[in-house]
Structure 1
Amino acid sequence: MSGQFSQTRGLVFGVLASLTFATSGAFLKPLLESGWSPAAAVTVRAGVAGVVLIPFAVVALRGRWGTVWTARWRILGMGLVGVAGTQLVYFASLQRIPVSTALLIEYLAPLLLVGFVWATTRRAPRLVVLLGSLVAVGGLALVIGPGALGAVDGLGLFFAALAAVGCAGYYVIAARPSRGLPPVALAAVGLLLGSLSLGLVGLTGLVPLEADTDSVVMFSLEVPWWVPLVFVGIIGTAFAYVSSIAASEMLGSRLMSFVGLLEVVFASVFAWILLGEALTVLQLVGGAAILAGIALVRSDKQTDAPLEPGAVDDSAPDVPATAARSRPDPTFTR
């Protein structure tokens, strides 16, 4: 019963994470239209979120500061892979292929996690998981649209594939046993490290860091440039990352990666409500298919299923797997 409650709570956190991640596109679009580069917006967004979370992390870490050192490699992975690395290769892909194509490839991360376990354990997933994977990815293709299949630039596809690996890596890192490190602390330090890394790479010229401090028009209102950044920093990044990490610890990397596909659905809905962008019947069907795929993957009750990536903390003493786990606008990814 407690395991079922934990998974239900994890699904709630996961849906909230996808919902809040999805606000980024609609609220940052005015900045992009006013001259901000995507890399600059994401760098500042992550920095704002990290600063906002630091006081909460300090309170949560009282009496257990040692967990930060214990989880140092997990924190480094979150900052360098989950935040900075994934963003860098994603933006590199956008310079060569359409946004829809880059998104479709990046969000194949759930299939990578299923395939990784299959390859490393030589134990095939149950039919319901494979069926759920196909249904969810098919729904994702419908939500993103048929234009996602038109790219031919090989290097752009390669960068997008690296982004998919980074996205899968994010879920693996987020799902690893916490060993006492609060999700808010992992998110705070990881986001600050990621923002710093993105900024340093931007200074080298590898990705453009362009910003404009003029007022922007957001939902027909003229507002200061920092208004959308503060909103996205607090809601679409700080709250979203903490919720996503907490959900990943409860659900595991595989299921949470499928729940994360809802971000694309919510982003389309926000674009429809806030920006007036049309929501097609195919997108609605695709959203329903993603929900069906998540339900199928969640329905896998196999108790002796192969361990998923991130389920075991290699640095901790050997314990049973059940005890080891404590459990976008189209331009933007987490």
Structure 2
Amino acid sequence: MTTMTHDNTVVSGSRLGAGLGLAVVSAASFGLSGNLARGLLDAGWSAGAAVAVRVSIATVVLMVPALVLLGGRWHLLRKNLPIMAGFGLVAIAGCQLAYFNAVSHMQVGVALLIEYTAPVAVICWLWLRHGERPSRLTLAGAVLAALGLVLVLDLLSGADLSAVGVFWALGATAGAAVYFVLSASETTGLPPIVLAAGGMTLGALALLVAGAVGIVPMAVSTQPVTYNGTTVAWWLPLLGLGVVTAALAYVTGIAASRRLGSRLASFVALVEVLFALLFAWLLLDEVPHQVQVLGGVLILAGVVVVKLGERRTTVVSAHPAGG
């Protein structure tokens, strides 16, 4: 795993417009995932089954373009198998499984806001593991995000919040942090779509094996799924999860990052939270409390400040991390 690099990409006007459009599509697609999953979970699906089907469908969709971009360079897959395994098992399967379990115990928007403290976790990892000392601005952003998390959890009012849901949401935070770290590696030689397809393949296989041996519950249902009073066939949200919230979301996100650079793309990705809250209102009739909205604003502000502070990060040790 290599140290994350700082992005200084210069973006032309045409690439900026195209990149922003793709980034918004990606954010909207990702923001829909928890809401579609919630309907399936309420209809009798387990989180493991929903994730396994989502990842499997996305694997099928991405496999052909991934093979084309790989161009027969099979040695790259063998060389980067540990990274793809970590990406698939932790950043994709593990993160999605934790997030879907979280939304089965709490509101979608709250679970996503907790997950979006992941950039702060990445900063801590880089400091402890790679010696990248955060600047004062970065630390200030981390404090803002921490205060926002307290408000999102509504700890000050003594509200009854699911401890199990918070546990799973924090697990999603860890998975998202691994995603950010592994995605930042520029030494693998793997095209981004190949990394995504390879990781999804391994993640899907791991989930199916875990389900077969009984480690991960795999409950499915053919009962209709209801969203805010509207009933649809069970296969429709599954198709949406695989094609829209996984395959489309990853492909457009990768394309946006290539046009905008990782720094600007990460800022635009924060729009996912707004889309998730909008879809939660439309599909699930979920509206967060006012104090939770304030906490969400502080979390997003904290993440933005953390990102701004990366420009001032001082590298005190450049030893590469193992594994």
TM-score normalised by the chain length of structure 1: 0.73
CA contact (8 A) 2:132 2:313 kept: no
Between 1 and 2, higher relative CO (CA 8 Å, sep ≥ 6) is seen in 2
Q: Is the 8 A contact 1:187 1:238 kept in 2?
A: no
Deviation of 1:72 after TM superposition, in Å, equals: 2.2
Q: How many residues align?
A: 310
Name which of structure 1's ranges 166-175 and 38-47 shifts more when overlaid on structure 2. 166-175
Tell me which residue corresponds to 1:269.
278
Deviation at 1:70, TM superposition (A): 3.3
Q: Which amino acid aligns with 1:84?
A: A
Unpaired segments of 5 or more residues in structure 1?
316-334
2:81: which partner in 1? 72
Write the distance in 2 (CA, Å) between the matches of 1:219 and 1:156: 22
Which secondary structure does the structure 2 equivalent of 1:217 belong to?
A: strand
Q: Distance in 2 between matches of 1:3 and 1:148?
A: 46
C-alpha separation between the residues in 2 aligned to 1:149 and 1:121?
39
The equivalent residue for 2:39 is: 30
The question of whether the paired residues in 2 share the 8 Å contact of 1:74 and 1:173 is answered with yes
Cα distance change, pair 237–190 in 1 and its aligned pair in 2 (3 A): same
Alpha-carbon distance in 1 for matches of 2:87, 2:322: 17
Aligned pairs for 1:30-69 within 5 A: 30-62=39-71, 64-69=73-78
Aligned equivalent of 2:9: 3
Using structure 2 for the length normalisation, give the TM-score.
Answer: 0.75
Residue 41 (structure 1) shift: 0.8
C-alpha RMSD over aligned residues: 4.2
Residue 295 of structure 1 and its aligned partner are, at CA, apart by 3.4
Tell me the distance in 2 between the aligned counterparts of 1:98 and 1:62: 44
* Distance in 1 between residues matched to 2:132 and 2:193, nearest whole Å: 35
2:171 matches 1:165: no
Q: In the TM superposition, what is the alpha-carbon distance from 1:192 to its structure 2 partner?
A: 2.0
Q: Of residues 91, 94, 99 in structure 2, which corresponds to 1:82? A: 91
Task: Evaluate the alpha carbon distance shift between residue 132 and residue 26 of structure 1 in structure 2; reply closer, same or farther with a 3 A threshold.
Answer: same
Deviation per CA, 1:255-278: give whole Å up to 9, x if none. Answer: 94x876654443122111333322
Cα drift, residue 193 of structure 1: 1.5
Q: Corresponding residue for 1:128?
A: 137
Aligned to 1:332: none
**Residue in structure 2 matching 1:188, options 197, 209, 213:** 197
Q: 2:304 aligns with which of 295, 320, 331?
A: 295
**Partner SS state of residue 299, structure 1:** helix
How far does residue 57 in structure 1 lie from its aligned partner after superposition? 1.3
What is the correspondence of 1:72-221 to structure 2 with a 5 Å cutoff?
A: 72-87=81-96, 106-122=115-131, 124-143=133-152, 145-146=154-155, 162-177=171-186, 179-218=188-227, 220-221=229-230
Q: Which residue of structure 1 aligns with residue 3 of structure 2? A: none
Summarize the Cα distance change of 1:85–1:276 in structure 2 as closer, same or farther, 3 Å threshold.
Answer: closer
Question: Which residues of structure 2 form unaligned runs of 5+?
Answer: 1-6
Q: Are the structure 2 counterparts of residues 145 and 248 from structure 1 closer, same or farther at C-alpha, using a change threshold of 3 Å?
A: farther
**Residue 223 of structure 2: SS of its match in structure 1?**
coil
